[in-house]
Chain A
Amino acid sequence: MPKTLYDKIWNDHLVHQQDDGTSLLFVDRHLIHEVTSPQAFEGLRNSNRKVRQPKLTLAVVDHNIPTTDRSKGIDDKDSKIQVETLEKNCREFGVKLFGMDDKRQGIVHIVGPEQGFTQPGTVIVCGDSHTATHGAFGSLAFGIGTSEVEHVLATQTLVQKKAKNFRINVNGKLSLGVTSKDVILQIIGKIGTAGGTGCVLEYAGSVISNLSVEQRMTICNMSIEGGARAGLIQPDEKIFSYLKGRPMSPKNDKWERALEYWNSLKSDSDAKFDKEINLNGEDIAPMVTWGTSPEDVVSINGKVPNPDNEKNEDKKNSINRSLKYMGLKPDVKIQDIKIDKVFIGSCTNGRIEDLREAAQILKNKKKAEHVHGMVVPGSGLVKEQAEQEGLDKIFIKSGFEWREPGCSMCLAMNADKLKPQERCASTSNRNFEGRQGRGGRTHLVSPGMAAAAAIAGNLDDVRKYQN
């Protein structure tokens, strides 16, 4: 029977299957961080269990740590305890950790690929919903809860039921100024935040295969915002050459064997998908979210929706609630929305290519006087690379703050947050109520669009600023 890429990875990892389809799936790669792991380790200790495969586990601190000067450690007492707990757990259970002072430290989904820990055809899990990022490498990668983290630590497996196959084809070409962030926002706008529930997404088509490895990560990263736990892309030469020579990538004859296997990873041409949709690259413009759900998308040339045009009562209520929270009036032009802050970073858009994209727009320009701008590189290595290229100087000269790596204001667990009613153009992934700080108002955009907004002082079309 013809199979999809997801079917093949699933079959390759099946340890055991019950008659009712409940399956035990082998986990090749387990990423952990300080926020969703302490209770899992405590569970192991309480039942005298060990980490079954410490070498298949990699830990990093990211969610909770300061992005300003770290020489004095962490001020926040609870954050400090959480970071120290991870350090202690990693020592006790023999897990490799990139701590706060390690140059390789960064956001877990940026560190995995950077180190070559992320590999095609593997099952990768992490107690974080943006684990889907790693699907860009043709792996089955998804977020899990803390009980499941404990399960993986103890057994190196996970109890799962097979999901449905959903293919999203993006064909044609992207116009100048349109990025993979706009593609995924457009997809989420089309399928809705629950559109991918119960499914594994496969992104395909010429637009997808023409994307760089890092741009593909941005797409897969936000699969969860479309309701899908995982989203993947068939791996190709770009992926293989990205991985070659990375610290944890296979070496020598193992590399050759791995490559042979990786080349076989594709959906059969006659494979059946339970769902399938098509988009045209040419139809996608730079996108912005106006509301409090990632499906609330509109083109930069559009307007804030009017609830009076919505017939469905639940949807109408939801639009009204969002407008109230966002402090917006119906039918206002998107480009007339003034902003207070700009955040460039996160596991969605905190990689070197993202920083280059923003820096290119900001070069020789100043941010608007009233805007506060912040760049948080995704990892220590991204930061180092950016500094070698002089990007830090471009950001600083245009009036941005240049910070230390971490999750930062994407989820605002550390000190980086919006004040009530503050409005932010953000390259992150969620515009939920309170996500970036209580009462804070988030507009999701690409790095180039965030840079354009910083210069204009309001949401603006990046295509006006292309150098």
Chain B
Amino acid sequence: MKKFISLKSIPAYLPIVNIDTDMIIPKQFLKTIKRTGLGKNLFHEMRYDNDGKVINDFVLNTKPFDRSKILIAGNNFGCGSSREHAPWALLDFGITCIISSSYADIFYNNCFKNGILPIILNEEKIKDLSEYAKRKEEIEVNLKEEKIIYGNNEINFKIDPFKKKCLIEGLDDIALSLEKSSHINDFEKKLKSSKPWIFND
């Protein structure tokens, strides 16, 4: 996984609440067996019309937001299905940081497995930041110090320390868990005698 330390970009602002994973990446693109190549279909139904033509006034189709690495959006971002294709599509488009007042649980978790930082801020601060999107000015996200720097201002955000460590060091979850193999072995051994029906053998 690619490390996330800090990031500077003009943010794109999508002022819609309850953006679901069907909106982020519609189902017809879930037929892939790869993790890559989904960026062109991110927000497909908002970006392209029925004939597949680019909808010019959709924010991610306009300059400079077509290169935004930061997306600011309404609350309950990523609700709906568990499809990891949603963070894969964002990542493939180039977005590695999302700012919202809340996220759906599964999507939130999926972000961290892909080097994407989802930041939670209150709605007032989100309105402040969205002004920078409108004025096409850069903001800076610094994960190490847990702050966003914009103009002469700073906002602090909070993040789970373990999740932060994994992002900053680009750690592989599975390798970390396999280090605890002896605990898993012990657990399974105990389980075989305490609940023998679980293994059904």
Contacts and interface: CB of A to CB of B under 8 A. Distances in A.
Contacts of B16: 318, 321
A239 interface: no
A432 B20 contact: yes
B76 A434 contact: no
Interface in A130-188: 142-148, 150-151, 154-157, 159, 161, 163
B20 A194 contact: no
Interface string B161-174: 11000000000011
A301 to B, nearest CB: 26
Interface stretch (A18-26, A367-375, A445-453): A18-26
A164 B100 CA distance: 21
A254 B201 CA distance: 11
B156 to A, nearest CB: 19
A313 B187 CA distance: 52
Contacts of B180: 15-16, 24
B80 interface: yes
Interface in A241-261: 248, 250, 254-255, 257-258, 261
B33 A82 contact: yes
Contact of B82 (A128, A254, A432): A128
B200 interface: yes
Contacts, number: 185
Contact of A435 (B22, B35, B173): B22
Counting chain B residues whose Cβ lies within 8 A of the other chain, the interface size class is 35 or more
A39 B37 CA distance: 13
Contacts of A35: 30-31, 83
B35 A39 contact: yes
A426 interface: no
Given A127-B82, A250-B200, A433-B23, A413 B173 contact: no
A378 interface: no
B75 interface: yes
21 contacts: A35-B31, A36-B83, A39-B33, A55-B199, A76-B31, A82-B33, A122-B198, A145-B87, A147-B84, A154-B178, A155-B181, A197-B104, A248-B200, A257-B197, A318-B17, A318-B18, A321-B16, A413-B31, A430-B81, A433-B22, A433-B45
